Amino acid sequence: MSPKPAGYGDTVTPEHALKYALRHAHGGRAQLIEGVIEPLSLSWAHEAVADRLRHQLGTRVADLHCIIGSGDLDLPGSPNWYVPDLAVVPAAVAKNAGALLPDQTLLIVEVTSETDAHTDRAVKRRRYAEYGAPLYLLVDRQQHTLTLFAEPGRLGYTRITGPLPYGTPLHIPAPFGLDLDTSDL
């Protein structure tokens, strides 16, 4: 009999087994989207957008005693395991964590690619709201827009700013309280 995945107690459910296998597939850089394994393969243009946002958020993130990265997010009770392009999380929470829950973040950023735009626009937006991510920033590279979703609930986000065309400053509310310069995205 093969050993049980570490950290799953006496009972291994199909959800736990699938998420365990995912973490060991594709060098650990894959997502589970509604039960489908999707390996991550990002273009440099995609990474450049994420890097520009990381730099703009950086000072404020440090002031908030947070970190910004692209670690794993688990959505327990669902066939989902996400790797966001960026997430801002309290440093104390991230310090010893493997995967976090969306409600443990302060901000999640997804930058669309040709292959995953629908997932970022619809599926992740719905799931991030359902799992309590307080702020979700969608950077839509195909439509050249940004949309900020806030005030999550089980039926979705109740406050939406955008879509705003690239070049329009975007205010990120508390605890950030800063305006993003979107002119060079």
Average the pLDDT over 58-80 and give the result. 95
What are the chain's domains? Answer: 42-180 (3.90.1570.10)
Q: Are the CB atoms for 71 and 83 separated by under 8 Å?
A: yes
Amino acid at 118: H
- Tens digit of pLDDT for each residue in 70-84? 999 999 999 999 999
Whole-angstrom CA distances from 111 to 92, 105, 115, 154, 172 are 26, 17, 11, 23, 16
Reported as a pLDDT band with limits 50, 70 and 90, residue 126 is: very high
Residue 86 has pLDDT above 50, yes or no: yes
Phi (first) and psi of residue 164, to 5 degrees: -110, 135
Amino acid at 154: R
Reported as a pLDDT band with limits 50, 70 and 90, residue 10 is: low
- Tens digit of pLDDT for each residue in 134-158? 999 999 999 999 999 999 988 899 9
- Three-state secondary-structure class, residue 182: coil
Residues 6+ apart with CB under 8 A from 107: 57, 86, 87, 88, 134, 135, 136, 137, 172, 176
- Three-state secondary-structure class, residue 142: coil
- Tens digit of pLDDT for each residue in 22-33? 776 656 678 889
Residues 6+ apart with CB under 8 A from 35: 18, 79
Reported as a pLDDT band with limits 50, 70 and 90, residue 15 is: confident
pTM, two decimal places: 0.89
Q: What is the helix (H) or strand (E) element at residue 150, kind and residue range?
A: strand 145-153
- Residue predicted with more confidence, 31 or 68: 68
In this prediction, residue 28 carries a pLDDT of 61
Pairwise CA distance, residues 53 & 41, whole Å: 19
